[in-house]
Structure 1
């Protein structure tokens, strides 16, 4: 099966035309997601556990298939790498609640990470899921996955602005004059 490139937003570069996908429902798999990420011109890797991941500078998005048969689920989960001090957890929770009230995806939550001998930090995780075991429309799968990826990117930008972390991001994007 192949993806109709006209159904994918162009994130830069030219896309080669391909035949449209099947008319009926499909059960997506990792190869289909790889093809979609390639057409979106997004770098991706398969981790040690066999999950497909697309890394960005401050977060990683995983494309995972879990379950079997009719209960198989496709999950797009984003782990935001920016650690937050445990003392800021209430502020992070307020921001996450605000995002979840305003948007459909990704739904975001916090994870408290206790490192042995180190500081306790709070990280944010975003997630969207689709039941795929009985098959889904290829067009629906593609548009949902693309929307979820874009929303994961937008959430990172929104959180940085919402928490006033813009200076941190701006300073990390400037070249080092001493280098």
Structure 2
């Protein structure tokens, strides 16, 4: 009988636990976390070849799958990274109850991203957020993972709403 395999994503997080690590295995020192900066976020986005710009508020922003995303540094020391997305569609205010129920279902069943609704200029806008406190710094690998999580889960959430709601709700 073969050993059960750990799912791919879990084995990347936990490592292959099917055999104990060899005693002679050396511990590779990890990069030290360094302070979060807008330049570091921009460098991480550039390494992926993503197209983005700095908006009038000084925030990094770009469009992924037709939806706008921002990479915000919040907090007193600008130590909180928030990847915030805004769905490309707007909905009528009359659909607030149904949309709120759908958002609650999403938030109850998933960790990321947090989804919420805002009324803007007489219509409803759906936002996604993934926020992380990086008071003690962040490595390049961690920053890359947080950006990927914020973008990936935000795009996934918005794609889900694209399929749930007809084009002319």
Task: Provide the TM-score with structure 1 as the length reference.
Answer: 0.71
Query: Structure 2 CA distance, aligned partners of 1:109 and 1:79?
Result: 10
The reply on whether 1:88 has 2:83 as its aligned counterpart is no
Structure 2 runs not aligned, ≥5 long: 1-29
Does the 8 A contact of 2:35 with 2:138 survive in 1?
yes
Which segments of structure 1 move beyond 6 Å, counting only runs of 4 or more? none
* 2:160 corresponds to: 158
- Decide which of 102, 108, 111 is 1:101's aligned counterpart: 108
Query: Structure 2 CA distance, aligned partners of 1:63 and 1:125?
Result: 13
* 2:55 corresponds to: 47
Query: Structure 2 CA distance, aligned partners of 1:108 and 1:36?
Result: 24
For the aligned residues, what is the CA RMSD?
1.8
Query: Structure 1 CA distance, aligned partners of 2:52 and 2:160?
Result: 24
Give the greater-gyration-radius structure (CA): 2
* 2:125 corresponds to: 123
Does the 8 A contact of 1:95 with 1:162 survive in 2?
no
**How many residue pairs were aligned?**
139
Does the 8 A contact of 1:85 with 1:122 survive in 2?
yes
Q: CA deviation at 1:149?
A: 0.7
* 1:28 corresponds to: 36
Q: Deviations over 1:128-160 (max 9, x none)?
A: 111112213332222121121111111111011
Task: Provide the TM-score with structure 2 as the length reference.
Answer: 0.75
Q: CA deviation at 1:57?
A: 5.3
Query: Structure 1 CA distance, aligned partners of 2:90 and 2:62?
Result: 19
